[in-house]
Homo-oligomer: A and B are copies of this chain.
Amino acid sequence: MPRPRLVVIGGVAAGMSAASRARKLSSELEITVLEKGREVSYAACGIPYFLAGAVADSQDLVVYDAAFFREERNIDVRLEHEAIAIEPGRRRVLAMAPGSRPVEFPYDALIVATGAAPEVTMPGSGLAGVFTVNDLASAVRLHEWIASERPQRAVIVGSGYIGLEMAEALHVRGLEVTLLERSTELAPGFSEAIETRLRGLLQSHGVTLTMATEVVEIVGNSTGRAREVAASGGRSYLAELVILATGVLPRTDLARAAGLQIGPTGAIAVDERMQTNIAGIYAAGDCAETRHLVTGRPAYSPLGTTANKQGRVAGENAAGGNARFEGILGTLITKVFDLGLARTGLTAAEARSTGFQAEEVTIDARTHAKYLGGRTLTLTLAWDAASDLFLGCQIAGDPCAAKRIDAAAVALHARMRLPQMLHLDLAYAPPMATVWDPLLIAVNEAVKSRATKGARTGERKQ
């Protein structure tokens, strides 16, 4: 009897997690990974630190190379193999290596981990000097371009966390940086108070911030190099380097063509077992949809943490297990210069748009005791006034302190209501914390504001 075959399309976070997990559960399975790039299993989130020079060699970002997976985990990794078709009827994938004909890869189970691609639609995005930074190869090209071409001015399009991390990285590399944001919101997903703090920080580091500015075209010079960015309102910004950080879209062409169902977010629809509408075909990572645990609705959350978890679940199930991935909170952390930013769950604005009667409070507290140098931590907390349900939290403060967002994330997983959170037994010692943790201060403020409102509208307190 032939050994059962698992094929995985895509060899970064979700794909390699899936393949590794499947191997852990089954030594029998024949596992093949088709990766179109030249690297597997690298830390894409480390790219800005490589560009800033904090990581000496791009290879330091490679967690395990293809040889490791072949030798240590008996996983047949095929680099530079681009899948070109999934044929569910024949249970096979067609893939092509450079300069060769399509090769067939039959499967008993298939995991689609095709990832996401940057949204690149504007005219001029093909000019030399225009980059995206969503994979290691593009990061290495950008790194070499900066070293050889010595650009002076950079425009970054998009102020999400990647745009912000790139602003710092390029500033550290000595460039004059302008950040262009289409919307009126800097760092979407954060409260206004935190946005204001971030705005001050960028200014203090000399990063120019231009809001509500849409790029019309990237204009090149006669040699095909980027020269300036033409934007809405007739404005233009000189730049030899343009970074497109306007977000990513799930790569779903193969999946669509094969008849896999696409969800309302535009990513591949999956159940809690990460299975698509076709039995035996799973999807995981940046190409797959998930569920938001606060709204209960389908969500798209292209992050490394989600990709690893979904990959592991898909791998376990493809190997005959029965694991489930229930969903995400959109928990995010980033560092911009010396400021840590973190969020989990919903902002009040996001929550209102999904039907909650959301309220929010923002407090400034200290990371730890003032007499030991504690610094200001800004924390915004959102809750549902109708049910007291805790909805989300955002933090700005010292980078390490921003990781405290996790306590709020666990409270969201547990679907806690504010009164349950008033007396959480959180850790205190003067060098690391305050006796009232910022989260507790915010919960107290929220309960107080709720009581005040109740009093105003004639409700009785208690």
Contacts and interface: CB of A to CB of B under 8 A. Distances in A.
Contact of A305 (B61, B326, B400, B435): B435
Interface string A323-347: 0011011111111000010101000
A400 B403 CA distance: 9
The interface size bin for chain A is: 35 or more
A436 interface: yes
A435 B54 contact: no
A128 interface: no
A88 interface: no
Contact of A308 (B335, B372, B424, B435): B435
A306 B402 CA distance: 24
Contact of A371 (B60, B400, B402): B60
B414 A427 contact: no
Nearest to A303: B428
Contact of A400 (B60, B400, B409): B400
Contacts of A433: 333, 403
Given A430-B46, A432-B400, A432-B403, A425 B437 contact: no
Nearest to A329: B425
Contacts of A369: 43, 46, 49
Contact of A432 (B46, B326, B402, B414): B402
A448 to B, nearest CB: 9
Contacts of A266: none
Contacts of A333: 427-429, 432-433
A60 B371 CA distance: 6
Contact of A54 (B372, B398, B404, B416): B372
A151 interface: no
Contacts of A313: 423
A420 B405 CA distance: 18
A413 interface: yes
A432 B335 CA distance: 8
Given A400-B432, A414-B410, A435-B308, A46 B371 contact: yes
A431 B308 contact: no
Contact of A425 (B328, B400, B401): B328
Interface string A239-281: 0000000000000000000000000000000000000000000
Contacts of A334: 429
A274 to B, nearest CB: 12
Contacts of A303: 428
A45 B423 contact: no
A426 interface: yes
Given A49-B371, A369-B43, A425 B399 contact: no
Contacts of A80: none
A321 B410 contact: no
Contacts of A372: 46, 49, 54-55
A452 interface: no
Contacts of A400: 398, 400-401, 432
14 contacts: A45-B429, A46-B430, A55-B371, A303-B428, A305-B435, A308-B435, A333-B428, A335-B431, A344-B425, A399-B431, A400-B432, A401-B403, A410-B416, A413-B425
Interface of A: 13, 43, 45-46, 49, 54-55, 60-61, 293, 303-306, 308-309, 313, 321-322, 325-326, 328-335, 340, 342, 344, 369, 371-372, 398-407, 409-411, 413-414, 416, 420, 423-433, 435-437, 439, 462
Given A308-B435, A340-B432, 5 more contacts: A46-B430, A333-B427, A403-B427, A405-B427, A413-B414
